[in-house]
Structure 1
Amino acid sequence: MSHLSEIETLLPFHFAGLKAAKLLEIESYFGSLAEARSAQEGDWQGTGLLTKIQAAKLFDSGLPALIEAALAWQEQASEHTLLGMRDEAYPHLLKDLIDAPILLYVKGQLGLLKDPQIALVGSRHASRLGVETAKDFAHYLSSVGLTITSGLASGIDAAAHQGGLLGQGSTVAVVGTGLDRVYPASNRQLARQIAEQGVLVSEYPLGAGPLAHHFPQRNRIISGLSTGVLVVEAALQSGSLITARLAMEQGREVFAVPGAINNPHAKGCHQLIKQGAKLVESGQDVLEELAALVQLSITENEPSAAAKFSEKTRVNPKSNLAVLNWIEYDPIGLDELVVLSKMPVSEIQSQLMQLEVLGEVEALSAGRWRRLS
């Protein structure tokens, strides 16, 4: 079956709102999705495979027009892709979910979806410090080859995408609308930048608006794409805690950045830490925990992803690692390096990691470093 015919086969079930597990049931009952696709309405009655709403959508007279519009969107630009769950480009971590989307709308660099990812989420009403922290974490993790995944919301999400775009790993935005819309509108320029340098993803049809239930539902995709989830500033009722809970259920690592005890936007992070999330204070803390998981996520049948990650994390000895000028044989802390070098924290952390790989410096306890040669 060609790629296009496979997409044409999937689209009716996509518009009917079916997920992966139900699609397998349908395929088992009818023998193939093509047979199910050509079955008449009467053939479905009594099967118990569809709800009344799903059946109504599957046999709605407007369905052909919706399918035609989706296929036309794919043909509009080379960066537009309708990605079926059986396509080789479909990310394997997401495919493992019982409620994985059977089809994704993708705009941008499709290959990023199979690169090692970490989700970074948090409050829409973040503090200035929270925004800076999220951007620093994202920049550092992207600079060492991880792709930053978030939800294109205001606050922490936007900062995560901005930080991700600054590094090699770039960023993935999983949105709660159709890809022909941007919500919130204030992120329109950021969405354009992500489409050019990263990738936008949605399970929702073109024209779908920002309905309230879309956002908690899309969170399973954010965590499902990622090897771990990092939460920076989250209130107790934050949607970020939904993402963290889904991540735990999916067997992903969960990290949380602590904050001031009287900050309401830190209470969600503190609750996560009490529930077993790992407390992290730097991007390096996250990377140390994720290193083994990242390697596991790159399976043998994805050599391209492994090669890309290896290339991204390969150290160039000729790089300008200026922070070494401030490191002596006596231990020095990160705060001192910030003051002395006047470099961003994320850049210092990135250079320290490269220097450690080169054997130039050694990491000590309490976030201190010393020169080795």
Structure 2
Amino acid sequence: MPDPREPESESEALLRLLLSGAPAAALRRLLDSHGSARAVLAAGARDWASHGLDAEVCRSLRTPPAEGLAAGLAWLQASPRHQLLGWRDPAYPPLLRRIASPPAMLFVAGDPGLLWQPTVAIVGSRAATAGGCANAAQFATALARAGLCIGSGLAAGIDAAAHRATLEAGGATVAVLGTGPDVAYPPRHRDLLAQVAAAGAVVSEHLPGTPPLRAHFPSRNRILAGLALGVVVVEAAARSGALITAHQAADAGREVFALPGSIHNPMARGCHRLIREGAQLVETPAEVVEALAPAVRELARALRGALDPQAAVIAPGTPPAAGTAAEAPDYNRLWLALGHDPTDMDTLAERSGLTVAELSPMLLALELEGRVAAAYGRYTRIAS
């Protein structure tokens, strides 16, 4: 039976796939097989069944729930900073692809380019002590100033302290939610959610309007761990969601760090357990930066190589000037778009003709090589 109405955009097609209720693994297979969500929908029920979709899911693909589709489209159309990244989207974060069960699509409010940045997740107890929150803020501030993006889950306690400190330092922060991208949990964090969306990025695999459900938070933790090169656990009880994030990070081959605490503090027991299990004991942000430096360099090389395999021939410390345009044309366009005055991402995109998703990893590579300085979301050329 033909679809009564073809989707008007790739985002609408992705929404229809998500609303079908098909497992993420099946959706990834379909997207890999057909290349786009619109092509998946055009393939028809026989093809869908051959990819393991049952009759009920096939019916939902043909006739998606009208209310959910309308809500999703309304959210996407509410702001140009609202996006739905599908599995085949070139802006889909590369580190997240490497985890055991990556989401088939992500709702993003804010700058999707931040999902390509080297990220440290800072997590811990919702019932954190004042000292724990101060430690989270100290680590977030120092790590953000070192050029790392700070990821967390917008929860009370340690998460909120990390997000707020990063925003105050002018750093990049990403909030991964277990709700829809428009739903703050706890509700008192609505203003914080808006601030992160405006200055950083908010990420969710759930449809807009999705309320907080207990089953969603472990899967939220896997996304946070998957986006990060490492996880810093500041305070955690013996049974804590932060420990789930840490274990998922370890399973994905990421670094796990834990701050020690008093043996009399029940919020330190989870950290001590992680240390016994092999997490790195850290007392200063510099220890985290030092431990992650090889992973940051490898990520930068991988991203730069994916964007332009010839870019590696440019000697470190040498700006991609006109003479190297044939070897790294996109980098040369970016270099020419940069100035000695701070320039925001949208202006760079307009000047260079490159997309934000293309610019973000390129700027990161140049920043790591000491050619570009970044502060408060603006970029400046460093003279060589």
* TM-score tier after normalising by the smaller chain length: 0.7 to 0.9
Does the CA-based 8 Å contact 2:152-2:159 persist in structure 1?
A: yes
Instruction: Report the counterpart of residue 87 of structure 1 in structure 2.
Output: 89
Residue by residue over 1:72-108, the C-alpha shift from the partner in whole angstroms, topping out at 9 and shown as x without a partner, is 3222212111122222221110122342112111111
Unaligned ranges ≥5, structure 2: 1-6, 308-330, 332-358, 374-384
Instruction: Report the counterpart of residue 338 of structure 1 in structure 2.
Output: none
* Residue of structure 1 aligned with 2:258, choices 256, 272, 275: 256
Structure 1 residues 105 and 170: CA distance shift in structure 2, 3 A: same
Instruction: Report the counterpart of residue 291 of structure 1 in structure 2.
Output: 293
SS at match of 2:306: coil
SS at match of 1:104: strand
**TM-aligned CA deviation for residue 177 of structure 1:** 0.9
Instruction: Report the counterpart of residue 184 of structure 2 in structure 1.
Output: 182
Structure 1 residues 52 and 288: CA distance shift in structure 2, 3 A: farther
Q: How many residues align?
A: 313
SS at match of 1:273: helix
C-alpha separation between the residues in 1 aligned to 2:115 and 2:106? 11
**Deviant stretches of 4+, over 6 Å:** 28-32
C-alpha separation between the residues in 1 aligned to 2:53 and 2:226? 25
Does the CA-based 8 Å contact 2:19-2:64 persist in structure 1?
A: no
SS at match of 1:281: coil
**TM-aligned CA deviation for residue 114 of structure 1:** 1.1
Does the CA-based 8 Å contact 2:363-2:372 persist in structure 1?
A: no
C-alpha separation between the residues in 2 aligned to 1:53 and 1:138? 46
C-alpha separation between the residues in 2 aligned to 1:175 and 1:49? 29
**TM-aligned CA deviation for residue 311 of structure 1:** 3.1
Unaligned ranges ≥5, structure 1: 318-373
Superposed, 1:36-185 pairs within 5 Å as 36-38=40-42, 41=45, 44=48, 47=50, 49-50=52-53, 54=57, 57-58=60-61, 61-185=63-187
Instruction: Report the counterpart of residue 356 of structure 1 in structure 2.
Output: none
Instruction: Report the counterpart of residue 222 of structure 1 in structure 2.
Output: 224
Does the CA-based 8 Å contact 2:87-2:103 persist in structure 1?
A: yes
C-alpha separation between the residues in 1 aligned to 2:76 and 2:190? 21
Does the CA-based 8 Å contact 2:10-2:37 persist in structure 1?
A: no
Instruction: Report the counterpart of residue 324 of structure 1 in structure 2.
Output: none
Does the CA-based 8 Å contact 1:147-1:172 persist in structure 2?
A: yes
* Residue of structure 1 aligned with 2:272, choices 264, 270, 273: 270
Residue by residue over 1:44-99, the C-alpha shift from the partner in whole angstroms, topping out at 9 and shown as x without a partner, is 55x4713677556545x552443343233222212111122222221110122342
Does the CA-based 8 Å contact 1:20-1:102 persist in structure 2?
A: yes
Instruction: Report the counterpart of residue 22 of structure 1 in structure 2.
Output: 26
**TM-score for the superposition, normalised by structure 1:** 0.76
Instruction: Report the counterpart of residue 307 of structure 1 in structure 2.
Output: 363
**TM-aligned CA deviation for residue 132 of structure 1:** 0.3
SS at match of 1:172: strand
- Percent identity reads 44
Moved more, 65-74 or 85-94: 65-74
Instruction: Report the counterpart of residue 344 of structure 2 in structure 1.
Output: none
C-alpha separation between the residues in 1 aligned to 2:239 and 2:79? 39
**TM-aligned CA deviation for residue 167 of structure 1:** 3.0
C-alpha separation between the residues in 1 aligned to 2:122 and 2:8? 34
Does the CA-based 8 Å contact 1:19-1:100 persist in structure 2?
A: no
Which letter maps to 2:12?
A: E
C-alpha separation between the residues in 1 aligned to 2:152 and 2:266? 22
How much is the aligned-residue C-alpha RMSD, in angstroms?
2.8
* Residue of structure 2 aligned with 1:6, choices 10, 33, 48: 10
C-alpha separation between the residues in 1 aligned to 2:254 and 2:110? 26
Structure 1 residues 279 and 53: CA distance shift in structure 2, 3 A: farther
C-alpha separation between the residues in 1 aligned to 2:147 and 2:32? 40
**TM-aligned CA deviation for residue 309 of structure 1:** 5.7
Does the CA-based 8 Å contact 1:227-1:293 persist in structure 2?
A: yes
Superposed, 1:189-204 pairs within 5 Å as 189-204=191-206
Does the CA-based 8 Å contact 2:108-2:203 persist in structure 1?
A: yes
